[in-house]
Amino acid sequence: AQKVTQAQTEISVVEKEDVTLDCVYETRDTTYYLFWYKQPPSGELVFLIRRNSFDEQNEISGRYSWNFQKSTSSFNFTITASQVVDSAVYFCALIVEVNDMRFGAGTRLTVKP
Amino acid sequence: DGGITQSPKYLFRKEGQNVTLSCEQNLNHDAMYWYRQDPGQGLRLIYYSQIVNDFQKGDIAEGYSVSREKKESFPLTVTSAQKNPTAFYLCASSRGGDSNQPQHFGDGTRLSIL
């Protein structure tokens, strides 16, 4: 069975702090895809990144970076120098089979000015 | 602009009433999805459709029904059989085919019971 665990329910930081959101996944398949989405207060989920199981290279996009480690089944997300606009709920998700995306419970990030 | 439009934004249901949530996309995506989001939980799949006139049940399809008569449209009906319908409903679409395609989401519909 496929499962995604986001152990951090809520995180609160002060602006300019770095913050890491954890994501641990479970699957027996060797081919899978991992995603991160951001859900701002408006409700829409915004796609941030996709990573396939054969590409363990870490990725950086501006203040965002992702650390994919198959050895620990983790796909962690770090925001550097956080800003108030980063406040949102962040979801990690896993796809093994087509059309079967499994979401974690989400981590609510609050960035205080 | 291409995107997914869900309506209404807020919806209230009376006891024993069926209600329909609208989802329209102009992204020319083949696949469409309906999710339910409850507080403190991730999204759970209700139904999905990979192609017009075809759809499949997700994890929590009981009490819901869908149709896919047009590529652009994937309405969700919450029937009276759904005893706990209060939730946030999200519609999504993707190119379909490969599982690595990201899903694009609408703004959601918040459904409450009167």
Q: Which residues in chain A come in under a pLDDT of 50?
A: none
Q: Looking at chain B from residue 69 to 98, which residues have their Cβ under 8 Å from any Cβ of chain A? A: 88, 90, 92, 96-98
How many C-beta neighbours within 10 Å does residue A44 have?
19
Per-residue tokens: A51: 């990573």
Per-residue model confidence (pLDDT) at position B39 = 84
Instruction: Note whether B55 and B68 are within 8 A (CB).
Output: yes
- List, in sequence order, every beta strand (DSSP E) within chain A: 3-5, 10-14, 19-21, 24-26, 33-39, 46-52, 59-61, 64-69, 74-79, 88-95, 101-103, 107-112
B16: left (phi over 0), alpha (psi -120 to 50) or beta: left
Tokens of B45: 């799949």
**pLDDT at residue B98 above 90?**
no
Q: Which residue of A has its CA nearest to B30?
A: A99
Query: pLDDT digit string (tens) for B32-79?
Result: 999 999 987 889 999 999 999 999 999 999 999 999 999 999 999 999
pLDDT of residue B99 exceeding 70, the answer is no
Q: CB–CB of A112/A14 below 8 Å? A: yes
pLDDT of the residue at B95? 87
Which pLDDT band holds residue B97 (cuts at 50, 70, 90)? low
Instruction: Identify the DSSP state of A86.
Output: G
Write out pLDDT tens, residues A14-34. 999 999 999 999 999 999 999
The continuous run of DSSP H or E covering B56 comes out as strand B54-57
DSSP type of residue B21: E
Q: What is the pLDDT of residue B33?
A: 95
Type and span of the H or E element at B66: strand B64-66
B99–A96 C-beta distance less than 8 A: yes
Residues of B in contact with A95 (CB under 8 A): 99-100
Please state whether beta strands B64-66 and B76-78 pair in parallel, antiparallel, or not at all (unpaired): antiparallel
Q: Is the pLDDT reported for residue B113 higher than 70?
A: yes
- Beta-bridge mates of residue B92: B33, B105
- Window from A56-60, B22-26, B27-31 with minimum mean pLDDT: A56-60
Q: Which of A31, A39, A45, A107 is the best substitution to test chain B (most B C-beta atoms within 10 A)?
A: A45
Q: Round the average pLDDT of chain A to a whole number and report it.
A: 93
Biggest alpha carbon–alpha carbon distance for chain A: 43
Q: Is the CB of B99 less than 8 angstroms away from the CB of A33?
A: yes
- 3-state SS, residue A57: coil
The helix, strand and coil proportions of chain B, stated in percent and rounded to the nearest 5, come to 0, 50, 50
